[in-house]
Structure 1
Amino acid sequence: MSPVTDLRAELVEKISAKQKELDHWLGEQCKKAPAPPYTSIDLRDSGFKMSPVDSNIFPAGFNNICVDDWNLAASTFERVLTRVAKGKRPAKILIVPENHTSNLFYFENLWALKEILTLAKFEVVIGHLNPAFEANLPKGCTSVKTQSGRTIVLEKIIREGNLLQTERVRFDSTDLVLLNNDLSGGVPPELEGFLRSAGTAAQNPSTYAITPNSPPNLPGF
């Protein structure tokens, strides 16, 4: 093997040998400074060193997770979302995605995210706030194709008082809203009040990556 390969193999061996200790340490650090509910980090690998170069508080690459790791991803989601809901496991999750109309790779990401959350036994609805979408299914639903040719259904989000709903599925205040939208175009009227304690996405996006479906109960992270 090359020196670089030897170095990587040695590093993997050392990390694996201390996996439990590392997991415990990371868990303790998260208690002191809770991490965002989810994020993605881009790594640059030069062969002899690796460094994070970018992070995204609203990940759009769940389709890049190996299917073999979906069970781990699902169990992690279940643990994190239960923590967000103050120890009570939510039954339903409403995903609020970006307003893409033609990005098939992003739709593939939404498909994978829903599949992983469904694997964790949540009832998952992909909503949308995009006025450009025209319903092609009953009850305000729009079917779109992903990059791989799969079909996902987006449901128009409706604001009813302090709750977000869709015409097909009813949510209550114990359910969760999962934001997968950086709101770079501004906060839509349907979300006003839900994000009131967070300011703008650029200021502190992690405080509302996930929120209970009721503005008065908005948690901080």
Structure 2
Amino acid sequence: MIQDVIHKSIVSNIDAVNDWFKQKGNQLKFPIYSSYDIRDSGYKVAPVDANIYPAGFNNICQIDYEGAVQIFKRYMDKKYPGVNHIALLAEEHTKNPYYWDNISKILGIIKGADKKACVGWAKDMTEDFVAENSIGEEIVVHPIKRQGNKITMHGHQVDFIVSNNDFSVSYDGYFKGAEVIVDPFYELGWFRRRKHDFFRHYNTLVEEFCKVIDLDPWLMSVETSLFENFDLNDQETLHRLAHEVDVLLKKQKEKFIQYDRSEDPFVIIKNNSGTYGLAVLTVNSAEEVLAFNNKARKKMKATKGGGGVNQVVIQEGIPTRLISEEETAEPALYMIGDELAGGFLRAHKQKGPNESLNSPGAIYKRLCVSDLKINVEGYPLENVYGWLAKLGVLAIGKEIDQFSL
């Protein structure tokens, strides 16, 4: 399996890759946290999504969770040593108890780092809202208000916000010019951020990284192209899209021949912004694009907030070889700043290896990155997945630099 080859190359060059990562990181800013969905096909392994406002902290293993508290404390002590009171900005769209499990865990990390914290919504509310997680614990959500250039919560000024809201719509009215630090930056929200930027930076970093470990960057990259003026009701758009899909499938086939792969390639078409696994299609040929049915068209219109899709990325498909108790699975890795903080396996009984697993019905299983602190050489999967997450956070750092934040 290719992850063994990558693992051995990293271990053999561990001092060089650590120096390279440090040198790159010294030039960049990182968000307070981020997460990466990774696909491991056995012949290549790469992240296929990167989230700057991740939910899912309730799914990381307990040992990782305890370590995350210390990593968070280091991050805050280094970047924001004077901050003691933190407002955690939550999503407004959901009463999903598992999302509130995630909020409970983030609160636990913040408080475990000796900070005071409470949860808020940046919306017009006359009174507090009480949410409930999956074990019946209540989380009080306070209204966050702007008064002049100050942000307040229940009458007190807020100086620091940790956002778990992905800003699918702009919050300029709340935060632009306000006397408050928001981390991750609200300017990185999906109202502005685009996936093709992340993958462009990521693939460039992989080329550099693979020079250090002397491997073909194709083994860790994910080819991704931008497709603009997306309109499934327009025949010219469909023909342009079909052509681009065909070009990528042929490029994949050439690499499959080089690596003696017998399977057929496939392509993922997905919204260039947004999350929740919405507006994602798997296609196997250009002909499939030209024959899109109503179900496919409806799926590509689904977005958080209903804003529609006008740009997509066309991405090489990476199947997952991972099976957990007869369920298709993929790893997700979490970072706090530039440090690995946790992970889990996302598994789905109703989905196949070529499909998105980030959909209703997914369940979550143990994958602990803390094992790497015991013995890097003995945990090849965690090591490879961990380095992909580190490359991912460097790519996000490049996005931040691109936006001059």
TM-score by shorter chain over 0.5: yes
Say which of 144, 150, 156 aligns to 2:131: 144
Cα distance between partner residues in 2 of 1:63 and 1:20? 33
Report the equivalent of 1:208: none
CA distance in 2, matches of 1:82, 1:204: 28
Deviations 1:118-155 (A, max 9, x none): 11111111111244x7x7xxxx3322111343321211
Instruction: Report whether the alignment pairs 1:104 with 2:91.
Output: no
TM-superposition CA deviations, 1:66-96 (whole Å, max 9, x none): 12112321222222233433xx241011111
Cα distance in 1 for residues equivalent to 2:101 and 2:57: 8
Residue 203 of structure 1: how far off its partner (Å): 3.5
User: Residue deviations 1:181-208, cap 9 Å, x none?
Assistant: 2222332633342489949754459xxx
Q: In structure 2, what residue type is equivalent to 1:129?
A: A
State how many pairs are aligned.
191
Relative contact order higher in (CA < 8 Å, ≥ 6 apart): 2
SS in 2 for 1:52: strand
- What is the RMSD computed on CA atoms of the aligned residues? 3.3
Q: Distance in 2 between matches of 1:177 and 1:145?
A: 22
How far apart, CA to CA, are the structure 2 residues paired with 1:19 and 1:116?
A: 30
- Show the counterpart of 1:159: 146
Alpha-carbon distance in structure 2 between the residues aligned to 1:70 and 1:29: 27
Match of 2:305 in 1: none
Distance 1:153 1:197, change over 3 A: closer
**Helix, strand or coil: the match of 1:99?**
coil
Q: Aligned AA for 2:103?
A: L
* Cα separation, 2, equivalents of 1:60 and 1:197: 16
The letter for the 2-side match of 1:68 is: I
Counting only pairs closer than 5 Å after superposition, residues 7-26 of structure 1 correspond to structure 2 as 22-26=17-21
**Identity across the alignment (%):** 27
Unaligned runs of 5+ in 2: 195-403
Compared CA separation, residues 95 and 41, structure 1 to 2 (3 A): same
Instruction: Report the CA distance shift for 1:193/1:63 in structure 2 as closer, same or farther (over 3 A).
Output: same
Q: Distance in 1 between matches of 2:186 and 2:168?
A: 17
Equivalent of residue 90 in structure 1, options 74, 83, 95: 83
CA distance in 1, matches of 2:148, 2:101: 32
Residue 42 of structure 1 is matched in structure 2 by: 37
Whether 1:129 aligns to 2:113 is no
Higher helix share: 2
Q: Does the alignment pair 1:189 with 2:173?
A: yes
Which whole-Å deviations, capped at 9, do the CAs of 1:1-40 have from their partners, x for residues lacking one?
A: xxx4xx7577667767876765554233211122333211
- Greater mean deviation of Cα atoms: 7-16 or 63-72: 7-16
- Counterpart among 62, 67, 85 of residue 72 in structure 1: 67
Decide whether the 8 Å contact of 1:92 with 1:171 is kept in 2: no
- Kindly tell me: are residues 102 and 118 of structure 1, through their superposed partners in 2, closer, same or farther at Cα, counting changes over 3 Å? same
2:106 equivalent among 96, 100, 113? 113
Please state whether the residue corresponding to 2:33 is helix, strand or coil.
coil
C-alpha distance in structure 2 between counterparts of 1:84 and 1:199, whole Å: 19
Letter aligned with residue 61 of structure 1: G
Gaps of 5+ in 1: 206-219
SS at the partner of 1:63?
helix
Q: Distance in 2 between matches of 1:187 and 1:154?
A: 18
AA matched with 1:40: S
Between the aligned partners of 1:64 and 1:199, the Cα distance in structure 2 is 24
TM-score (norm 1): 0.69
Structure 2 distance, partners of 1:39, 1:69, is 15
**C-alpha deviation, 1:171, in angstroms:** 3.6
Letter in 1 for 2:111: T
